[in-house]
Structure 1
Amino acid sequence: MNDRTINIRNIQHFLYCPRRYALLELNSDWAENAFVVKADILHQHVHDGSHSFSDSKKIVRSNIAIYNDLPQYDLYGMTDCVEFVRSSQGVSIPGCSGKYAVRLVEYKPKAPKDGGFRETDAIQVFAQKVCADFVWHCSSEAYLYYADTKKRVRLPFDSEYAAYDSLLQRLLQDMRTLLEQKQIPPRKKGQKCSGCSLTDLCFPKEKPYCVRDLILSQKGVEQE
Structure 2
Amino acid sequence: MYDEQDYLMISGIQHFLFCRRQWALIHIEQQWQENVLTLEGSYLHEKADQPMIREKRKDRLIVRALRVHSPTFGITGICDVVEFIQDPKGVSLNGEVGTFSPIPVEYKHGKPKQEPSDVLQLAAQAICLEEMLACSIPKGYIYYHETKHREAVAIDETCREKLKDTVAEMHQYWQRRYTPKVKTGNFCKKCSLQNLCLPKLMNVQTVKGYLDRRLCE
TM normalised by structure 1 equals: 0.81
CA deviation profile, 1:97-118 (whole Å, cap 9, x unmatched): 1011211110011213xxx875
Q: Distance in 1 between the 2:88 and 2:114 partners?
A: 31
Q: Distance in 2 between the 1:194 and 1:25 partners?
A: 20
**SS across alignment from 1:202:** coil
Q: Post-superposition shift, 1:205? A: 9.2
Bigger Rg, which one = 1
Superposition map of 1:92-107 within 5 A: 92-107=92-107
Q: Distance in 1 between the 2:48 and 2:114 partners?
A: 20
Change (3 A) 1:55 1:183: closer
Contact 1:117/1:153 (8 A) holds in 2: no
Instruction: Name the structure 2 match of 1:222.
Output: none
Superposition map of 1:135-214 within 5 A: 135-140=132-137, 141-157=139-155, 161-188=156-183, 190=185, 192-203=187-198
**SS across alignment from 1:199:** coil
Instruction: Name the structure 2 match of 1:211.
Output: none
Structure 2 residues not aligned, in runs of 5+: 202-217
Higher-strand-fraction structure: 2
Q: Post-superposition shift, 1:166? A: 1.4
Identity %, equivalent residues: 28
Contact 1:111/1:117 (8 A) holds in 2: no
TM normalised by structure 2 equals: 0.84
Q: Could you tell me which amino acid in structure 1 is paired with residue 171 of structure 2?
A: R
RMSD of Structure 2 on Structure 1 (CA): 2.1
Q: Post-superposition shift, 1:50? A: 8.3
Runs of 4+ in structure 1 displaced over 6 angstroms?
Answer: none
Count of residue correspondences: 198
**SS across alignment from 1:130:** helix
